[in-house]
Amino acid sequence: MRWRQRFAQRPHLSRWPRPAPKRAQARPSTLIKATNGAIYTTAQAKQGEAIYTQSCASCHGTNLQGVAAPAIAGKDFLGTAQKNGWTIGILRTIVTENMPFNNPGSLTAGQYAEVLAYLLAANCYPAGTTPFPEHATANLAHLKITEPSHLAGTPDRFGVCSVVP
């Protein structure tokens, strides 16, 4: 018996919702192409470094390479982010909704923005004059995390840059 005949004999199957046709999605632009990487300020990154040291380093390590949690800067992190298609918006959601692991949501919106600025600086993205937003914005969802085409600093052997004072 053919598949269509078997399907016709089971009318309850024909009521299944059919998947919606795939819509053409806007292709996410890379962080460098979209904003030249300048979506945080140096002052934010410096503040974020202090907050990171206090709230995040116990799990992610002082060098951001992970201790009890994964690396969040450098070659390993960028490889994972690219493999999984992460955007800045996804990273922001992970951080603001799940971190610090022992007390999620305990930082203010400004502190989360500063920590994210620090993470961008540690991943060698250049700073600019526009501060990292304290709240989610639509454009963050389209900024893919990629390896910077021009580095803001000299990365260490793990690919991590220090925050310029």
pLDDT value at 58 more than 80: yes
The enclosing domain of 55 has a CATH number of 1.10.760.10
Residue 71 resides in a domain: yes
Most confident of 15-24, 33-42, 86-95: 86-95
Residue 91 lies in a domain: yes
Q: Which of 152, 98, 89 is nearest to 123 (CA)?
A: 152
Residue 159: per-residue pLDDT: 92
88 found inside a domain: yes
Residue 124 lies in a domain: yes
The SS3 of residue 125 is coil
Average pLDDT value for residue range 118-141: 93
Look at residue 163 in the predicted model and tell me its pLDDT: 84
* Stated pTM of the model: 0.77
Is 66 within the bounds of a domain? Answer: yes
- Find out whether 51 and 115 touch, Cβ atoms under 8 Å: yes
Its domain, for residue 95, covers: 40-144
Given a cut of 60, whether residue 39 has pLDDT beyond it is yes
Look-up of token digits 């410096």: 46
89-121 pLDDT tens trace: 999 999 999 999 999 999 999 999 999 999 999
Picking from 20-34, 57-71, 86-100, 142-156, which range would have the lowest pLDDT averaged per residue? Answer: 20-34
Pairwise CA distance, residues 32 & 76, whole Å: 19
For the stretch 70-92, pLDDT in tens is 999 999 999 999 999 999 999 99
Q: How many domains does the chain have?
A: 1
The verdict on residue 95 lying in a domain is yes
- Let me know if residue 3 belongs to a domain: no
Q: Is residue 27 part of a domain?
A: no
What one-character-per-residue DSSP string does 71-86 give?
--SSHHHHHHHHHHT-
